[in-house]
Amino acid sequence: MVVSAKNPVHSVMFLITIFVTTSGLFVLAGAEYLAMLLIVVYVGAVAVLFLFVVMMLDIDFVELKQGFMRYAPFGALVALVLFAMFVLVASAVVEAKVDPHVLASPTPALDVANNTQAIGRILYTDYILFFQLAGMVLFVAMIGAIVLTLRHKPYVKRQNVGKQVARTRKTGVENTKPKIGEGVSL
């Protein structure tokens, strides 16, 4: 439904539903940290960001659909290459010499650390660079969404901070002597 929904807002809502159900599957698998991480990062940041961008952009769908057939051959080629890559990955055989005891117990015993502690320890020690890069990608996505949705409309009065700071008493206050009956009317 994410791909086939006609309305982009509905598509983003289906994406949020997928993230929440995937988080539920992580909870059932015993990976509580990954479940909460999925909710916070994907639903809390990325999906809401997509939702705001989709809602703020004024997209003309009729104009978008006009050039669809022009790009259809290129899209079919990309789909074919992607499908070929899926077939190659699915048919690949990987032989690795791994200790079977490590495969049977990929996380430490519960008396050493629980699931959340083990993932947090690995995430903040061995993979700190990737964690920081993921944060930077989210930051750039947020800035990009703000830039995409920011429009300066000519009829909206904007604030000029430089003009406000440079204001003096002489330019900020006007002393007038209205005649009787010409003052402020209600």
pLDDT in tens, 36-64: 888 888 887 777 777 777 766 666 666 66
What is the model's pLDDT at position 101?
66
Give the whole-angstrom CA distance, residue 167 versus residue 161: 10
Q: Classify residue 86 by burial, with Cβ atoms within 10 Å: 0-12, 13-18, 19+.
A: exposed
Q: Which residues contact 15 (CB under 8 A, 6 or more apart)?
A: 2, 47, 50
What are the residue ranges spanned by the domains of the chain?
1-60+113-170
**Confidence category of residue 25, pLDDT binned at 50, 70, 90:** very high
Q: Which candidate, 86, 81, 75, 15, places its Cα nearest to that of 45?
A: 15
The model scores a pTM over 0.85: no
